[in-house]
Amino acid sequence: MKILITGGAGFIGSSLCLKLKEKYPSYSILAFDNLKRRGSELNLVDFREHGIEFIHGDIRNDEDLTSVGAFDVLIEASAEPSVLTGLDTDPTYIINNNLFGSINCFNACLKYKAKLIFLSTSRVYPIDKIEHANFIEEETRFAFANQQKEVGISQLGISESLNLFGARSFYGATKLASELFIQEYSAFYNLESAITRFGVIAGPRQMGKTDQGVATFWMAKHYWKQPLKYIGYGGMGKQVRDMLHIDDLIELVDMQIHHIEKFNGKIFNAGGGLQSSVSLLEMTRICSRITGNNLIIDSEMQNRAADLRVYITDNTKIANEIGWKPTKSLESIFTDIFKWIETNEAKLKPLLK
């Protein structure tokens, strides 16, 4: 099998490349990337050592994709992942990359009769509906209340049933638009596809920043004793996200590669779920315990644009219909990130500090 992974030198893409090649050494794994994100070039060394072909290209350029030649599966992991992109600047870049670039990927799949695995996002769900959900404030976190007025929100989190009308960020809008186009391609061109709305993905190899990759960002700041700040919602650090270990994502994508018929024509949420949810305040305590470093965290009262008080993935649908559920604990996510930073401290320090 020949598998093309767009965004192949990114966090998710590179992890998929290496794990799939390790599990299926006879497969041809192609990492396709424009190396725009800082730190992605470090993965080229691992690719060479593990027999993964690297192709320097941009999904916005159709000729770059068609020059790859035939392939069996395309995993679309090339999105600009920042929710803040386009909110205070011209959104042209994120629209071109996440929508028009993705459509080029869909067309390449048609050309070579290949399967498509599309990594979508929980950010397709409207901000206002989640922000106006009933919530409770606990000692260290916010949580969804038991009684809710919107279908698709519960104590377990956000399900696929939540109404999609409303604003969600340019990032979320481009991913939702891509989902809609995939449905058209499937209906009229018989494109086989798997669409998954992932929550926060975390683990080793992620070059965390303030607006994307919060687990790595928080751990790195503790590791090098750098300043941190709780932003918004009273500056208390009670905002909550659930986190999915990259290895659990890879297990699901592996299943989609080999059994896409189970996913074709359907859309699933996939995340760490309630059991792997964590607030910033709780994250601080975890990172302090693992690193042995205690930081004084500053506060900023003003909310950031497009932020959410709570987001937790309700995995009920995918668990019932597919039988997939995450297996890696929250503790293992932060421990694995710490070990990765510790092992690669010299080369990561300029990038993460």
Q: Which of 233, 248, 225, 234 is nearest to 328 (CA)?
A: 248
Q: Report the run of H or E that residue 282 belongs to, with start and end.
A: helix 280-291
pLDDT digits (tens, 9 = 90+) for 152-169: 999 999 999 999 999 999
pLDDT on residue 231: 97
Q: Please count the CA atoms within 13 angstroms of the CA of 17 that sit on its side-chain side.
A: 32
pLDDT on residue 250: 98
Q: Where are the chain's structural domains?
A: 1-125+168-198, 127-158+204-242+273-353
Q: Please count the CA atoms within 13 angstroms of the CA of 107 that sit on its side-chain side.
A: 14
| Polymer length in residues for the chain | 353
Give me the CATH topology for the region 127-158+204-242+273-353: UDP-galactose 4-epimerase; domain 1 (3.90.25)
Proportion of the chain above pLDDT 70, given as a percent? 99
What ranges in 113-149 are assigned the alpha helix state H?
127-131
CB 224 within 8 A of CB 287: no
How sure is the predictor about 290, in pLDDT bands with cuts at 50, 70 and 90? Answer: very high
How sure is the predictor about 210, in pLDDT bands with cuts at 50, 70 and 90? Answer: low
Structure tokens at 312: 């937790």
Segment 258-272 shows an average pLDDT of 98
pLDDT digits (tens, 9 = 90+) for 133-155: 999 999 999 999 999 999 999 99
Segment 238-242 shows an average pLDDT of 98
pLDDT on residue 209: 77
* Token pair 């730190």: residue: 39
pTM score, two decimals?
A: 0.96
Domains 1-125+168-198 and 127-158+204-242+273-353 share a fold: no
For the domain bounded by 1-125+168-198, which CATH number is listed?
Answer: 3.40.50.720
CB 49 within 8 A of CB 67: no
